[in-house]
Amino acid sequence: MQVAYRAENLFDAHLARHALEDAGIPAFVFGESLLGAGGELPLFGVLRVCVPEAAWPQARDVLQAAGLLDAAIDPISDGAEDPGLLPA
């Protein structure tokens, strides 16, 4: 198995898995069952979407086409500059 996608959250992991499965590529989310142990494990890098080695190049293309491999954009600030401290 090869890691095709490292997810920041469970939603992204399953979005990637479903995109791969819709393209006919078997995919598995590793680390999903570890999310309940957040106090004992690092919070990042736990979720990985893996595919068989033979399907890895096609999987990268599918994830790229789905927009999952693009640089993350913060949906709240949408790339706006930090306004600094604001009055309460």
Can you give the pLDDT at residue 63? 92
Interatomic CA distance for residues 66 and 37, integer angstroms: 30
Assess whether pLDDT exceeds 90 at residue 20: yes
Q: Residue 50 sits in which domain range?
A: 2-65
Interatomic CA distance for residues 33 and 47, integer angstroms: 9
Higher per-residue pLDDT: 7 or 83: 7
> Could you tell me the pLDDT band of residue 19, with boundaries at 50, 70 and 90?
very high
CATH number of the domain where residue 23 is located: 3.30.70
* CA distances for 88 relative to 55, 77, 85, angstroms: 52, 19, 9
Alpha-carbon dihedral of residues 12, 28, 64, 19, nearest 10 degrees? -80
Report if residue 21 sits inside a domain.
Answer: yes
Report if residue 11 sits inside a domain.
Answer: yes
Report if residue 71 sits inside a domain.
Answer: no
pLDDT tens-digit profile of 27-85?
999 988 776 655 555 566 678 999 999 999 999 999 999 888 875 554 545 555 655 55
Interatomic CA distance for residues 81 and 83, integer angstroms: 6
Q: Which of 63, 69, 65, 67 is nearest to 17 (CA)?
A: 63
Single pTM value for the model: 0.70
| Residue 78: partners with Cβ closer than 8 Å, 6 or more residues away | none
